[in-house]
Amino acid sequence: MTQKDILLGDGDTGIADVVAVARRGAIAVLSTDARNTMERSRAVVEAFSAEDRPVYGLTRGLGSRVVREVTPEERSDFSRVVVLARACGAGDPLSEGATRAAMVARASSMARGGAGVRPLLVDTFCAMLREGVHPYVPSIGSVGASDLALCANMALPLLGEGRAMFKGTWLEGKEAMERAGIDVVAPLEKEGLSLCSANSISVGLGSLVLHDLTELLELMDGIAVLTFEAFRANPSPIDPRVVMARGAPGQARAAQSLRHKLAGTALFDDGEPRRVQDPISIRCVSHVHGSLRAAIDFCEPNILVELNGAGDNPVVLEPDQDILSTGNFHTPAMAVAFDALALAIAQAATISAQRVGRMLQNLYTDLPDGLTNHGTTHAGMGLLSLTAETLSKDIHMLGAPASLQDSSTYNVEDHAPMATLAVRQASQAAALLRQLAACELLTAAQAFELRAPESAAHVAHALYSTVREIVPALDDDRSMTHEVASISDALADGRFRPCLDAAA
């Protein structure tokens, strides 16, 4: 095992581990203890099958066919057919990173032993991750009562079916596995159901969302600091005494983050702020960014319990030599949490868009309208306010609670939390929020240049300088479409991350 290896099955797989494998080349491997646990659990499945004991999806059918027997002769083929029949879906395929994250999530959960599958299945997922075989997984097709159809698509190449991306080319699943030197799997009884019946798509994508949003929120704190300096804002709302007078969830951490990033500023000195009280969009940054932190806190346990638990139905209870039907595949708490996250993102979007608008108005800044010195004939950066506002409205639309969209497709499966949709909406909202943050960063950098404060926070200087490495100051009017995209991409690829170190 190398330093980069991520051990699966020991119960402490985290979001950072998922990101490391999905995006950074870390290698996932099944731990020795987990391998032993899986082998013991598999022995329980085989014993139940040999004794023909009634077990959902093993010796009995699925869904409304649970009352019907699956004969010993049918069981292996039944396992294969379960995957093939459920591999439906629509929409664009998941990104490479999201697909890899979902594969890590399924492998990690199966490694706990509750699925009752052979270690071979986890080993095969790990080999696919290592060699870069990425199944074609459609983005639409789960109602959140396990990601049944989408996980089935993800499993197809393991069986030599479906399609997979290998070295930049879509191939038939069997060919992709052959080129990568990985043997396909002939699933035994129950293994087909275990490959499908999981929340891995939600968990994988949710892990990436929380990681990306946490990093973006730190950058947005820094961007707010640049806005503070350009506006010459009053920092009294983030005074520790003010915060503790009514410490809302997440607010204290957000205020501390802003104070830390304001290191080097003169704004805490008497007479430096221009106003005794600023517009709410500037005054209440810590409150709104704090609420987003609290929403992330709500989501994280739902992801961690899935990565390190067995949400299988039925679940193999190896210490008791038993197999029981469960509802552990059901994730209403995750759906509600990610719905809340999308709403918190919408709050952060609204307040950022309003800061962009205030920065462009002479009435509030004492700087030229549109942040241009050319007067009536030039709009300057004025249209960025419209862009920010429309981004905000798109994000608001994604805040419609997915968990209210129940789907009762089958009589026995008569409740669906819609967790996958909730996670997908939060993911889309976070991507738009990054573009909105780019609008604020561009606006704040232009205002900072026009203001030219004698003393400013080190983070503000660093952010401004990095913006200018990418985008020149605005003099004559020009299209800013590409500039918003360039700054947004730089926020995503980590170029601005070192700017936050300037606070140290």
Identify which of 255-259, 381-385, 401-405 has the greatest average pLDDT.
Answer: 255-259
Higher pLDDT, 12 or 76: 12
Candidates 142, 130, 129, 141; CA nearest to 99 is 129
Q: Among residues of the chain, what percentage have pLDDT more than 70?
A: 98
Whether residue 422 has pLDDT greater than 60 = yes
**Considering only 2-6, 134-138, 231-235, 381-385, which range has the smallest mean pLDDT?**
2-6
- The tokens for 188 are 């035994």
**Considering only 60-64, 280-284, 387-391, 497-501, which range has the smallest mean pLDDT?**
60-64
- Taking each helix axis from N to C end, the angle separating 200-231 and 419-451, rounded to the nearest 10 degrees, works out to 20
Judged by DSSP in three states, 373 sits in coil
10 falls in which pLDDT band (50, 70, 90)?
Answer: confident
Neighbours of 1 (CB within 10 A): 9
pLDDT of residue 123: 98
Mean pLDDT computed over 173-195: 96
| pTM for this entry | 0.95
Mean pLDDT computed over 165-169: 97
pLDDT of residue 2: 45
Per DSSP, 248 falls in state -
290 falls in which pLDDT band (50, 70, 90)?
Answer: very high
Cα dihedral across residues 90, 96, 101, 105: positive or negative: positive
Whether residue 1 has pLDDT greater than 50 = no
pLDDT of residue 461: 97
Give the contacts of 335 (CB within 8 A, at least 6 positions apart). Answer: 144, 402, 403, 417, 418, 419, 422
Whether residue 87 has pLDDT greater than 50 = yes
Candidates 355, 346, 342; CA nearest to 391 is 346
pLDDT of residue 411: 66
Judged by DSSP in three states, 337 sits in helix
pLDDT of residue 146: 86
**What are the C-alpha distances in Å from 265 to residues 171, 226, 230?**
56, 10, 11
**What are the C-alpha distances in Å from 227 to residues 119, 230, 446, 473?**
53, 5, 10, 16
Q: How far apart are CA 328 and CA 312, in angstroms?
A: 6
Give the contacts of 250 (CB within 8 A, at least 6 positions apart). Answer: 289, 290, 291, 292, 293, 294, 297
Q: How far apart are CA 212 and CA 431, in angstroms?
A: 9
Q: How far apart are CA 346 and CA 391, in angstroms?
A: 10
CB-based contact 412:63 (threshold 8 Å)? yes
Q: End-to-end CA distance of the chain: give it in Å, rounded.
A: 35
486 falls in which pLDDT band (50, 70, 90)?
Answer: very high
- Taking each helix axis from N to C end, the angle separating 458-470 and 419-451, rounded to the nearest 10 degrees, works out to 100
**What are the C-alpha distances in Å from 324 to residues 270, 413, 439?**
68, 18, 53
Q: How far apart are CA 432 and CA 396, in angstroms?
A: 11
Judged by DSSP in three states, 441 sits in helix
Candidates 332, 330, 348, 439; CA nearest to 399 is 348
Neighbours of 32 (CB within 10 A): 11
CB-based contact 39:9 (threshold 8 Å)? no
Whether residue 282 has pLDDT greater than 50 = yes
CA angle 444, 449, 455 (to 5 degrees): 95
Q: Report which secondary-structure segment, H or E, holds 323.
A: strand 322-324
Whether residue 255 has pLDDT greater than 60 = yes
Higher pLDDT, 492 or 377: 492
Candidates 413, 471, 439; CA nearest to 223 is 439
Averaged pLDDT score across all residues of the chain: 94
Question: DSSP H helical segments within 270-331, as ranges?
Answer: 280-283, 285-307
pLDDT of residue 3: 47
Structural domains in the chain, CATH included, are 6-198 (1.10.275.10), 206-311+320-406+433-503 (1.20.200.10)
Q: How far apart are CA 197 and CA 206, in angstroms?
A: 18
CB-based contact 409:149 (threshold 8 Å)? no
**Considering only 111-120, 339-348, 374-383, 433-442, which range has the smallest mean pLDDT?**
374-383
Whether residue 412 has pLDDT greater than 90 = no
**What are the C-alpha distances in Å from 17 to residues 104, 332, 382?**
9, 24, 43
Whether residue 28 has pLDDT greater than 90 = yes
Higher pLDDT, 497 or 329: 497
Neighbours of 325 (CB within 10 A): 14
Whether residue 365 has pLDDT greater than 90 = yes
The strand pair at 315-317 and 322-324 is best described as antiparallel
pLDDT of residue 410: 57
Whether residue 503 has pLDDT greater than 60 = yes
pLDDT in tens, 131-165: 999 999 999 988 877 899 999 999 999 999 999 99
